[in-house]
């Protein structure tokens, strides 16, 4: 290939809880337009809007991230129903963003390029807003590997399609290799929280991140497929032997970018199916909807615990129906 250089970047340094922007050019800019969020340093008072944010939750679907913000609103015991939370990025349809209390909920679309654009602008937003001690969690959907549909996987290591813990980023035509470490303590804390939501299985495992949903994940049901069912299963079993328990499309870039910028990060995804059993997502929409609420309920338990709130008493949560 014409790519020439491969480098590995230094690990993150200490930041006193602030977000680390690794870009010396940014300080010289008079204005920073966060184009895909429809926000900017001159048009918005970012410290006033976001300075007290402590938890950032991201996920692919805008509707799901709105539902999560509404759910968190109730879980935090805040006034009002939360039904009228406004989309902070209403001026654009690239992403949707909601806040309730110290929690920010943002959609990122599907795939590494889409989450990468959002993370660049979100991380600059947290920097401009002078946020401190932010925890960021991706709550998503995935395909499981040798686990029951509906299981929730907390990622210990995000790996690429060769099962390696790395994210390859092309910069000026050259490949830069980045670490995909996630916060081990945070993963263990989340696993401990899962005892509070015992009606579904939660486990820790590796998460494989691919650039494609069909051929890239060994599916036989895309418009293109040049391999046999045997080759597919051989690949998925190798992934399972390497410790992979689920497959999605954003975790390596998420882990790499958050790690470089000093954000404590976790990935918590529900498995919509077991890929050793099939390729098509066949569960009824109602079942899938309940599956998608499981990471939300786990993260709500985690945030409540961090904030010293007891689980809300009274009627069952809407999401548990």
> 228 vs 19, 68, 219, 235, CA distance in Å?
46, 40, 10, 11
User: Does the annotation flag 94 for ligand binding?
Assistant: yes
User: Does the annotation flag 139 for ligand binding?
Assistant: yes
Q: Is 221 in the site for a second copy (CB under 8 A)?
A: yes
Q: If we measure between CA atoms, which residue out of 159, 137, 167, 125 comes closest to residue 265?
A: 137
Closest CB to a second copy among residues 116, 135: 116
Q: In the range 97-126, which residues lie near a second copy by CB under 8 A?
A: 109-114, 116-117, 119-121, 123-124
Q: Is 139 in the site for a second copy (CB under 8 A)?
A: no
User: Cβ(298)–Cβ(202) under 8 Å?
Assistant: yes
Q: Is 91 in the site for a second copy (CB under 8 A)?
A: yes
DSSP state of 116: H
User: Cβ(32)–Cβ(40) under 8 Å?
Assistant: yes
Indicate which single residue of 12, 51, 61, 196 sits in contact with a second copy (rule: CB under 8 A).
61
Closest CB to a second copy among residues 172, 313: 172
Q: Is 33 in the site for a second copy (CB under 8 A)?
A: yes
Indicate which single residue of 46, 72, 261, 266 sits in contact with a second copy (rule: CB under 8 A).
261
The tokens of 7 are what?
Answer: 């480098």
Neighbours of 208 (CB within 10 A): 31
User: Does the annotation flag 141 for ligand binding?
Assistant: yes
Give me the phi and psi of 140, to 5 degrees please.
Answer: -140, -175
Taking the complex as a whole, how short is the minimal distance between the CB of residue 318 and a second copy, in angstroms? Answer: 19
Residue span 186-215 as binding mask against a second copy, x where in contact by CB under 8 A, dash where not: ------------------------xxxxxx
Q: Is 229 in the site for a second copy (CB under 8 A)?
A: yes
User: Does the annotation flag 219 for ligand binding?
Assistant: yes
Q: Helices 285-306 and 184-193 meet at what angle, rounded to 10?
A: 110
From 81-89, 196-204, 222-230, 313-321, span contacting a second copy (CB under 8 A): 222-230
Closest CB to a second copy among residues 74, 120: 120
Q: Is 148 in the site for a second copy (CB under 8 A)?
A: no
What value, to the nearest 5°, has the Cα angle with vertex 309 and ends 308 and 315?
A: 160
Taking the complex as a whole, how short is the minimal distance between the CB of residue 217 and a second copy, in angstroms? Answer: 9
Question: How, if at all, do strands 174-179 and 6-8 pair?
Answer: parallel
User: Cβ(95)–Cβ(118) under 8 Å?
Assistant: yes
Rounded CA separation 253/6 (Å)? 17
Write out the binding residues for phosphate. 94, 138-141
Binding residues for substrate: 217, 219
């Amino acid at each position: 290939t014409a790519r020439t250089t491969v480098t590995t970047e230094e690990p993150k340094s200490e930041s006193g809880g602030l977000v680390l922007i690794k870009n010396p050019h940014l300080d010289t800019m008079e204005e920073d337009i966060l184009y895909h969020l429809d926000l900017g340093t001159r048009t918005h008072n970012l410290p006033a809007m976001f300075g007290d944010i402590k938890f950032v939750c991201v996920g692919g679907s805008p509707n799901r991230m709105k539902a999560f913000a509404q759910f968190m609103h109730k879980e935090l015991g805040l006034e009002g129903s939360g039904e009228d939370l406004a989309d902070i990025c209403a001026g654009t349809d690239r992403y949707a963003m909601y806040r309730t209390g110290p929690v920010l909920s943002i959609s990122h679309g599907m795939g590494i390029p889409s989450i990468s654009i959002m993370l660049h602008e979100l991380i600059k937003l947290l920097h401009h807003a002078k946020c401190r001690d932010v925890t960021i969690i991706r709550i998503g959907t995935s395909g499981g590997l040798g686990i029951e549909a509906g299981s929730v996987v907390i990622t210990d290591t995000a790996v690429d399609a060769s099962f390696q813990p790395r994210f390859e980023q092309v910069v000026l035509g050259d490949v830069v290799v980045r670490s995909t470490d996630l916060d081990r303590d945070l993963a263990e804390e989340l696993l401990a929280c899962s005892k509070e939501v015992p009606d579904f299985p939660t486990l820790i495992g590796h998460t494989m991140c691919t650039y494609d949903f069909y051929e890239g994940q060994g599916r036989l049901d895309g418009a293109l497929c040049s391999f046999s069912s045997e080759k597919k299963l051989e690949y998925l079993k190798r992934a399972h032997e390497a410790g992979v328990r689920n497959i999605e499309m954003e975790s390596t870039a998420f882990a790499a970018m958050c790690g470089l910028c000093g954000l404590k990060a976790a990935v918590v995804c529900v498995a919509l199916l077991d890929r050793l059993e099939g390729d098509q997502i066949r569960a009824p929409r109602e079942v899938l909807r309940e599956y998608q609420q499981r990471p939300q309920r786990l993260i709500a338990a985690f945030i409540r615990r961090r904030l010293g709130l007891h689980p809300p008493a009274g009627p069952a949560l809407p999401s548990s129906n």
